[in-house]
Amino acid sequence: MDEFTLRLLDAYQKNFPLDEQPYLRIARELGVDENRVLQRLAELKAAGIISRIGPVFDHAKAGASTLAAVAVPKKDEAAVAAIINAFPCVNHNYAREHDYNLWFVVTAPDEDKLHDNIRAIEKACNCPVLMLPMEKAFHIDLGFSLRERATC
């Protein structure tokens, strides 16, 4: 990865400029022209390296959410994952190595609707959902430094 791309990816995961022309601001900070920034960001988005440019909302303040898990037979995993993914209130559905093998995040505008969503998922999957809401955040997602990652 070239130095320009590395700097672009490392420096703008938080405090993205709120200037009228944020990409021009970034271009000036990195010593390139605005088109180069726009073009590189478009390429990185197309390649899937950047999922999006935008806000990460605080779960508790933006609504209700919980981490959730189900334990399903390995052979049924993909089918159950598809059922869960069909719910628009679900994001980040990962298979993991454990008896509880599907881990996903359920969101809702408020706590009552969150419980409704969990019940609806339990009904659709025909199995109980383990609900593990965040009680306290010690370290939140503040971005991901590519430079500090030489070892891990």
103-132 positions binding other proteins, by CB under 8 A = 103-105, 107-109, 113, 116-117, 120-121, 124, 130-132
Question: Least Å distance between CB 58 and other proteins?
Answer: 5
49 binds other proteins (CB under 8 A): yes
Sequence-separated (6 or more) residues with CB below 8 Å from residue 92: 103, 104, 105
Question: Least Å distance between CB 129 and other proteins?
Answer: 10
- Cα 52 to Cα 128: distance, rounded to the nearest angstrom: 33
Written as six digits, the tokens of 11 are 């420096």
Phi, psi of 144 (to 5 degrees): -145, 105
Counting residues that bind other proteins (by CB under 8 A) gives 89
The sign of the torsion formed by the CA atoms of 118, 121, 127, 130 equals: negative
Question: Least Å distance between CB 11 and other proteins?
Answer: 9
6 binds other proteins (CB under 8 A): no
Looking only at residues 66 through 105 of this chain, which bind other proteins when binding is defined by CB under 8 A?
Answer: 67, 78, 81-82, 84-98, 100, 102-105
Which residues are paired to 108 by β-bridges? 64
